[in-house]
Structure 1
């Protein structure tokens, strides 16, 4: 049982780290020297790195909010898991933790879908690694939430 708990905790922490990196990192869209994320658009010229604030479109603000909510819900889910680990009765399931983790996965999925549909970057641009990390974090958090539904507390 200890191995399962450690595995679930590692999966959850990995998901949390991926969500934080994908929300904060400046590589959602890359086009040569230009890289943009949810917060800034940066160019690298002559060894310097110049950033300006990202556009203030409604869809981008929605993506920002959804990604921040996914990080918060994933963090709260981990805190609830630790609390339930010590207070839950024997044989109880981690439903409260699972709900928050599944909500985090839905938030990150919604944010990535909105970004994919609404982004009108240049033709030569490609999605960066932070965007890919957001898509990788979605199934990890969904699987983690489903594991919490199945997981029972044992002595």
Structure 2
């Protein structure tokens, strides 16, 4: 049982790390002379690096909010898991933890879908999706899987 709990915690922490990195790093879209993320749109020129804030519209603010909410709900879910681990009666399920983690996964899904659909309006067509964007997509199934595991998991002695 201890190995199972350690595996679940490892999966949860790995998901949180992916969410943090994908939200912070400036590599959601990359090109030879520019890169964009949730916060800035940077272009290299002979004068240096020119970065504009991500104020292109409400959609980028929605993506920012959804990614931050996913991190917050993921952290709350991890704290709830440890609280329920010590307070839940034998045979109980980690429903609350699972619900928060599933909500975190849905926030990631919503944010990445909005970015996928709306980024051509803000990002030059010569850019491709970057590795931070891919990390966000990888974080979605990890969060969903860990949330489902929490819902299924029963507390044993």
SS in 2 for 1:38: coil
C-alpha distance in structure 1 between counterparts of 2:29 and 2:9, whole Å: 31
Normalized against structure 1, the TM-score is what? 0.94
* Greater Cα shift, 118-127 or 74-83: 118-127
Asked if residue 130 in structure 1 is aligned to residue 136 in structure 2, the reply is: no
What displacement does 1:54 show?
A: 1.8
Asked if residue 90 in structure 1 is aligned to residue 90 in structure 2, the reply is: yes
* Greater Cα shift, 116-125 or 79-88: 116-125
C-alpha distance in structure 2 between counterparts of 1:142 and 1:10, whole Å: 14
What displacement does 1:17 show?
A: 0.4
Structure 2: any 5+ residue segments left out of the alignment?
none
What displacement does 1:42 show?
A: 2.3
2:76 maps to 76
1:107 maps to 107
C-alpha distance in structure 1 between counterparts of 2:49 and 2:85, whole Å: 46
CA RMSD after TM alignment: 1.5
Matches for 1:3-152 after TM superposition, within 5 Å: 3-44=3-44, 49-120=49-120, 121-152=123-154
C-alpha distance in structure 2 between counterparts of 1:98 and 1:24, whole Å: 25
Q: Count residues in correspondence.
A: 155
Normalized against structure 2, the TM-score is what? 0.93
Stretches of 4+ aligned residues off by more than 6 angstroms: none
